[in-house]
Amino acid sequence: MIKTLKLPKIKLPDDFYHLEYPGFKSTKKSGYYSYHVKKEIKEKVKALFPANFFNDDVKIMAQIMDSGVDGVVHKDVSRVCAINYMLHTGGKDAHLGLYNEEKELTDTYKQVPGEWCLLDTQKYHAIREVVSERISLTIQFFKIKKEQSEWINALL
């Protein structure tokens, strides 16, 4: 499941994250990397949300994907959901594939730069037709509280 959110566009510099401060890196297949964002970016993003929305179970990161993970159908291990803000799509035909429990493609979504989307990371999904770096800011939820969920649902 992916849904667009009514949040404002934000301007981010190319160097909005710390390349020297990595987060998660895929060990099964190369092509997925996350990095901690710079403090001023974190504050800019937090300002879009209610006070106390962010806690130890919610992280603001940069995620970079390349063709190494193209077509890798998966569910996230630790994230329950993510809000992604697209910066670079990874190519003119790059998109997200959504799958059922049998890993059969059921839908696709082509997120555009400047768009915020909520992704249920506990459902099967995969990026597809990525030919260059796909870069987004991601708000990762390792647990989600009722108040957070209600606030997000009001933006749908």
* pLDDT for 20: 87
**Which residues are registered as beta bridge partners of 118?**
3, 83
Count of structural domains, the chain: 1
Taking the whole predicted model, whether its pTM rises above 0.85 is answered as: yes
Please say whether the beta carbons of 105 and 99 come within 8 A. yes
Could you tell me the CATH number of the domain that includes residue 142?
A: 2.60.120.10
* pLDDT for 21: 80
Q: Give the 3-state secondary structure of residue 45.
A: helix
Helices and strands (DSSP H and E) totals, the chain: 2, 10
Enclosing domain of residue 10: 2-153
Q: Give the 3-state secondary structure of residue 136.
A: strand
* pLDDT for 24: 74
Q: From the first residue on, what is the mean pLDDT of each consecutive set of 10 residues in the chain (156 residues)?
A: 97 94 74 95 98 96 95 94 98 98 98 98 98 98 97 95
